[in-house]
Amino acid sequence: MHRYDLRIETKKTDLEMECEQLIMKQLHLFFFILLNADKEIIIPPYLVGDRAAAGLKDLLDKFNVTQVKGMASIKRYFHRLFPRAEGSLFYCNVILASNQRPEELVDRISLV
């Protein structure tokens, strides 16, 4: 497992709800790209307490970003993610569990 900092860019919007939808769309795209590079990649909940919580699943091929409902739940996987209506750049932390070394994963992502 490796921890990464992720930067997400969306178009600017004045509506918080639209901002959340744009972030979710970008996170779905990010996860889709990861799955194309490694079908067995997993995004576990970020905090240890959340990983131990009953009923909180890892994100994987069969349970992906689109099935997570609401920003409060998505923040359990993408730590420190806060939508801001005035901004278009968002930062968060994410854990990726993969059988590949980080360098190999980045090379495969660049080929997608």
> What pLDDT, in 10s, does the model give residues 35-44?
888 888 988 8
Q: Residue 56: pLDDT band by 50, 70, 90 thresholds?
A: confident
- What does the pLDDT look like over 75-94, one tens digit per residue? 888 998 876 655 678 889 99
What is the CB neighbour count within 10 angstroms for residue 37? 19
Q: Which helix (H) or strand (E) holds 27?
A: helix 16-37
Amino acid at 84: R
Q: Which range marks the domain in which residue 89 is found?
A: 2-111
**Taking a C-beta distance cutoff of 8 angstroms, is the pair 71, 83 a contact?**
yes
Pairing of strands 89-96, 2-9: antiparallel
Query: Whole-prediction pTM value?
Result: 0.81
Structural domains of the chain, count = 1
What's the CA gap between 91 and 9, in Å, rounded? 9
Average pLDDT, the chain: 83
Position 51 pLDDT exceeds 80: no
